Structure 1
Amino acid sequence: MIAAARRDAAAADLSKICTFEVADVQHGFTPSLATITQYDKVFSNAAMHWILKASTSGPFFDSVHAALKPSGQFVFEMGGMGNVAEMRSTLLGVLGRRVGMAQARAADPWFFPDESWMRARLEASGFAVERLEREWRPTRADEGGIEGWVRLMGKQFFDVVPVAEEREECVREVCEVLETVCRSPGGGDWIGYVRLRAVARKV
């Protein structure tokens, strides 16, 4: 993605004003670009629920705050409380029965907070919350269907099962349950996405 962004910037003659880098933001980050000390905006789309945990989120939000200029905006969308609840419950149930619930929970890669948690966390890091909302947004499964979603998004759950044949049994069992839960009488398979989005300003 960085390589593609650099190509696109060069093609649009924006290489002198657009720069790109890869950084690990899970434990806080400091922009390494010598020409930029602070940013006007920080934007995140569908990434934060993969990298945050309640107990270790402070450095992430603090570093976003530090990276912004005064009055700079932090705009994001992520999974919110209740996101893909049917998928998550089924994955935890199937895997928990085989490896134990503690190990299944430890393999769960997602963090889906509600508005109260997010507001408190943003304000603790020095942001003024201008907009914060959670939306239920059922989404039709793409051409990969339920199985494609389960194999891609649920991979970290299945990684805790050491035997390949048993992993496949788990995938089949999860899909059997979800095909019942997600199949719409009106056609297609639907997944219960819940989005949490916010606009916050550095104060």
Structure 2
Amino acid sequence: MTASGTQQWNPADYQRHGGFVPELGTPILDLLQAKAGERILDLGCGDGALTVKLIQLGCAVQGVDSSAPMVEGARRLGVDALVMDGESLNFHEQFDAVFSNAALHWMPRAEKVIAGIWRALKPGGRLVAEFGGHGNVATIVHALSAALAARDIEAPDPWFFPTPEGYRALLEQRGFKVQWTLLVPRPTLLPGDVGAWLNTFAQPFISAIEETARADFIASLVETLRGPMCDADGKWWADYVRLRCHAVKP
């Protein structure tokens, strides 16, 4: 059996169960070194929590996200945000920088994304991004895959977790001058148990299960993952691995 679920985003649920994502994105925002007056594209802006920090620096920011509810949430924060697929960006040499946090791993057709970023940047413009890299949430992925296989269910992998070498090659193939690509292991404390994480971030897998059986499926995964992910104090940690990159359009 093959399933083809999609990921849906709810701003309130995201803030409750994934609020750590923009909070932990501050280091990559610092690496952007944004300057007042720069025009910046926030690719995959989500609910705008990081985007507003760029606006506060005096940048002219355009946010884009494929999720209409998240774009609406960003607009409520005062962000100029558009619903747009990151694999079909529609800009031409308009931006000094493209910034992206925790979004590019949701765009598996990386060549199309990189081509759109290239078009969007002015000559001399830069891409600074952080997203899931090779080995990201491997413990969860392995448990999900095993649990689905035991039920004879195939769910397409929605994530793109490249190696630094692989992503560098894609950027250079398009013409970017790559400053660096690197993996950053970042064990991440979850606000609850892994069940809330699965409901928020792994919907393409969870939706492969019949709706009446999903609660039991998630509960069994929580028990499977308790050993490797839950510490002696009852806190749950996910094995996040982030890929950071900085590239310049000559």
Q: Give yes or no for contact 2:97–2:126 (8 Å, CA) kept in 1.
A: yes
- Supply the distance in 2 between the matched residues of 1:7 and 1:166 (Cα, whole angstroms): 36
- Supply the distance in 2 between the matched residues of 1:4 and 1:186 (Cα, whole angstroms): 34
Range with greater deviation from structure 2 (76-85 or 175-184): 175-184
Q: Which runs of 4+ in 1 moved over 6 A?
A: none
Residue 89 of structure 2 corresponds to which residue in structure 1?
Answer: 29
Deviation for aligned residue 1:5: 5.0
> Structure 2 vs 1, CA of residues 126 and 140 (structure 1 numbering), >3 Å: closer, same or farther?
same
- Please say which structure displays the higher CA radius of gyration: 1
Structure 2: which 5+ runs fail to align?
A: 1-46, 48-70
- Supply the distance in 2 between the matched residues of 1:6 and 1:167 (Cα, whole angstroms): 33
2:123 aligned with 1:70, yes or no? Answer: yes
Deviation for aligned residue 1:135: 0.8
2:132 aligned with 1:79, yes or no? Answer: yes
> Structure 2 vs 1, CA of residues 7 and 84 (structure 1 numbering), >3 Å: closer, same or farther?
closer
SS in 1 for 2:122: strand
- TM-score, scaled to structure 1: 0.81
Residue 169 of structure 2 corresponds to which residue in structure 1?
Answer: 120
Deviation for aligned residue 1:177: 0.7
SS in 1 for 2:212: helix
SS in 1 for 2:183: strand
Q: Deviations over 1:114-160 (max 9, x none)?
A: 10110000001111111211011101111x32211122112210111
2:204 aligned with 1:156, yes or no? Answer: yes
Structure 1: which 5+ runs fail to align?
A: 10-17
- Supply the distance in 1 between the matched residues of 2:89 and 2:215 (Cα, whole angstroms): 38
- Supply the distance in 2 between the matched residues of 1:125 and 1:172 (Cα, whole angstroms): 44
Deviation for aligned residue 1:93: 0.7
- TM-score, scaled to structure 2: 0.67
Q: How many residues align?
A: 181
Identity among equivalent positions (%) equals: 35
- Supply the distance in 1 between the matched residues of 2:202 and 2:77 (Cα, whole angstroms): 32
Residue 15 of structure 1 corresponds to which residue in structure 2?
Answer: none
- Supply the distance in 2 between the matched residues of 1:88 and 1:202 (Cα, whole angstroms): 34
- Supply the distance in 1 between the matched residues of 2:94 and 2:111 (Cα, whole angstroms): 19
SS in 2 for 1:60: helix
Deviation for aligned residue 1:37: 4.7
Could you tell me which of 84, 88, 95 is aligned with 2:141?
88
Deviation for aligned residue 1:40: 0.4
